Amino acid sequence: MKTFPVEKRKTILDDDQVLIKKIRKGNKAAFEELMRKYNRKIFNFIIRMVRNDEVAVELTQDFFIKIYTVIDKYNFEYKFTTWAYRICYNLVIDHIRKNQMQMESLDGDAVSQKEIISSENYVKDDGFRILSDEEVKNHLWKLVDGIPLKFKEVILLRYIQELKYEEIADISGLPVGTVKNRIFKAKEILKQEIEKDGMLK
């Protein structure tokens, strides 16, 4: 059984914890509010991990149902997000492990970024105009989709779920140093690819 070493809290309840108290008493509106609060981030994390709309919808639903069924086990001494994101992370990783195609990504043989970009007819610099920041950002995030899963998961936890290194380590079960190292390496890959495409000039 894992422990929660980060952000231990004792007395004051935050907004999420107030909602959890209400959910435990059977308040439907409180659960709906909690879902609306996290729906977008959870869905975006999942869809980028599994890269399939239908599966992402299904897993997001499974996540909320799971949260509801184990809400009585939530410990108020810890942050709700750390607990919830760990459930989400485990759900997605379990799904990917069961999926034969994604197994390759787990082993590090990810589809090359070039293939992804060309297969999706992604907008590239045609030499006649300067790409907008928005286009560069979209291109960068397309590259994130193509990097190996072990790098992608930490990037998504860091920048979509907006978690700290310690929280990512707690959720993924990796040492903080490994998390930091993977984020660094992921950025290196992204930087090399984006510079190759001449999109940061």
Partner 1 sequence: MECLNEERIQDYLEGTLNAMEARLIRDHLLACPGCNARHKTDLKINRHLQHPPLLNPPDSIIASVLRTLYPGTSFYFSIIALIAASFAFLVTWIYIYFDFSNSSLIQALKLTSKSTSGWIANLIKVVSSVFSMIYASFKAIHSFVSYLLRIDFGPEIVRGVVLALSMIFLYSLIHLFSRKFKEKRK
Footprint on this chain of partner 1 (rule: CB under 8 A): 26, 28, 31-32, 35-36, 39-41, 43-44, 47, 57, 60-61, 64-65, 68, 133, 136-138, 140-141, 144, 155, 158-160, 165, 180, 183-184, 187-188, 190-191, 194-195, 200
By beta-carbon proximity to partner 1, the closer residue of 79 and 182 is: 182
Q: Which residue bears the tokens 């790409």?
A: 131
Q: In the bound complex, what is the minimum distance in angstroms from residue 96's beta carbon to partner 1?
A: 19
Q: Compare residues 65 and 103 and give the one whose CB is closer to partner 1.
A: 65
Question: DSSP string of 50-61?
Answer: H--HHHHHHHHH
Tell the smallest beta-carbon distance from residue 198 to partner 1 (Å).
12
Question: What is the rounded CA–CA span in Å between residue 106 and residue 96?
Answer: 8
Among residues 170, 17, 166, the alpha carbon closest in space to that of 9 is found at 17
Instruction: Give alpha helix (H) positions in 147-197.
Output: 149-159, 165-172, 176-196
Can you give the C-alpha Rg of the chain in angstroms? 19
Nearer to partner 1, 100 or 134 (CB): 134
Beta carbons within 10 angstroms of residue 2's beta carbon:
8
We find the least distance from the C-beta atom of residue 154 to partner 1, in angstroms, to be 11
Q: How far is the CB of 147 from partner 1 (least distance, A)?
A: 12
Q: 74: part of which helix (H) or strand (E)?
A: none
Q: Which is nearer to partner 1, 31 or 78 (CB)?
A: 31
Q: DSSP state, 7?
A: S
Select 24 or 97, whichever has its Cβ closest to partner 1: 24
